[in-house]
Amino acid sequence: MDTRQQKNEMVSSDEWYTPKWIIDELGPFDLDPCAPMEPPYPIAPLSYNKEQDGLAHEWPSTAVVWMNPPYSRAPLRAFVEKLSRHGNGMALLVNRQDNLLFQDIIFPTAASMLFMRHRVKFLRPDGTSGSPFFGSCLVAWGHECDQRLRNCGIEGKYVVLNE
Ligand SMILES: C[S@@+](CC[C@H](N)C(=O)[O-])C[C@H]1O[C@@H](n2cnc3c(N)ncnc32)[C@H](O)[C@@H]1O
């Protein structure tokens, strides 16, 4: 797949799953509110897929949330807004700090972020994996997830956003 095909595929599909090593490094998590219909491995004991709609549910107040949200713009913003209000969790996001998601929601509310040094090899529903044409970053809300991000072994640059 060339870069142009990959870009089209990335924006036309939400089905790019987190490799297990990232969850092993940062977890455990209690809730995955944007889960695949057929997850390749369990991320959290509680999860909602698109039919169950993670936005329609009230998330347990103490849940540590893992979020690799759908890439489509409207649900992406809604999911990140909900996580910022929840205040306890982590998101794996496209490295685009000029967009409004970062400017309006993440920079004012998140505790910290980690700019990943290496491209993530996401899992596809057919069992293959592939790296997108852009980098990724991890964003933490709340003290516990901030500490996990600060102390994890994932290569990259950790920065504090809000004390
Ligand atoms: C980028 S994938 C990440 C999957 C998984 N959270 C992970 O980390 O591997 C985003 C997932 O969100 C699902 N999704 C889309 N809209 C959703 C909704 N309203 N509620 C829950 N899940 C949704 C998609 O089907 C897709 O499987």
Exposure pattern of 116-148 as b/e (b: 16+ CB <10 Å)? beeebebbeeeeeeeebeebbbbbbbbeebbeb
Ligand 1 atom closest to the Cα of residue 123 is 9
pLDDT at 133: 82
Residues of the domain holding 133: 3-160
pLDDT at 151: 98
| Centroid of ligand 1 to alpha carbon of 96 (angstroms) | 20
pLDDT tens-digit series, residues 117-159: 999 999 999 999 998 888 999 999 999 999 999 999 999 999 9
- Which regions in the chain score pLDDT beneath 70? 1-12
Ligand 1 atom closest to the Cα of residue 48 is 21
| Centroid of ligand 1 to alpha carbon of 32 (angstroms) | 9
- Whether ligand 1 lies within 6 angstroms of the CB of 54 is answered as yes
| Centroid of ligand 1 to alpha carbon of 101 (angstroms) | 18
Average pLDDT, the chain: 93
What are the tokens at 41? 């491995």
How many structural domains is the chain composed of?
1
Distance (Å, rounded) from C-alpha 26 to C-alpha 89?
Answer: 10
pLDDT at 13: 78
CB-based contact 138:116 (threshold 8 Å)? yes
CB-based contact 4:133 (threshold 8 Å)? no
Hey, CA dihedral for 129, 20, 14, 162, is it positive or negative?
negative
